[in-house]
Amino acid sequence: MKVSIVVAIAENGVIGIDNGLPWRLSSDLKNFKKLTSGHTILMGRKTYESIGKPLPKRRNLVISRDPAYIAEGCEVFQSIEVALEAAKADSEVFVIGGAQIYRQVLPKADKIYLTRVKAEVKGDAFFEIENLDQWQVVSTQAFAAGEKDEYDFEVVELLQP
């Protein structure tokens, strides 16, 4: 099983604000849907609550330390390790946030799908990928802001060295 991180990061390291995204990038969300549909996604409780429902056509795994936590239509686990063990038969698991989950999964990650948002934005959630220059760039695709996008962005696919 491959463990892949999917993350969008502004130029100043921001990934979120007030438990939501600090931008509107419809084109990136379409890419995200295409990439993750038919696969398992793993997220923290706060990320799940910001979305408000399980994402369709995906197996939704939610991490919560609260053993009584229920996320309708999702599987809830108390640790990332247990969740990954439950998903080991899947070819690829996509980790979709938030900041705490990213930090814990990064040492285990095989791949990163990194959206670089071409802006500096206000936020309260940050994520920095240490030693990013050591990851192997597989592909880079630039996107000019479309009609439903606030900013230009690029999607970089990276492999663990």
End-to-end CA distance of the chain: 17
- The CATH number given to whatever domain includes residue 155 is 3.40.430.10
Please, which residues have CB within 8 angstroms of residue 123's CB and are 6 or more apart in sequence? 10, 12, 14, 15, 16, 17, 22
pLDDT digits 0-9 by tens, 76-134: 999 999 999 999 999 999 999 999 999 999 999 999 999 999 999 999 999 999 889 99
Neighbours of 47 (CB within 10 A): 24
Residue 59 pLDDT: 98
pLDDT digits 0-9 by tens, 14-40: 999 999 999 999 999 999 999 999 999
Residue 161 pLDDT: 82
Please give the mean pLDDT across all residues of the chain: 97
Q: How many domains does the chain have?
A: 1
pTM, rounded to two decimals: 0.96
Burial class (CB in 10 A: 0-12, 13-18, 19+), 84: buried
H helix or E strand, kind and range, residue 153? strand 153-159
Sign of the dihedral defined by the CA atoms of residues 147, 27, 116, 100, in that order: positive
**Residue 126 belongs to what domain range?**
2-159
Q: Give the three-class secondary structure for 33.
A: helix
Parallel, antiparallel, or unpaired: how do β-strands 14-16 and 125-126 relate?
antiparallel
Task: From 35, 23, 21, 17, select the one nearest 155 (Cα to Cα).
Answer: 35
Neighbours of 95 (CB within 10 A): 29
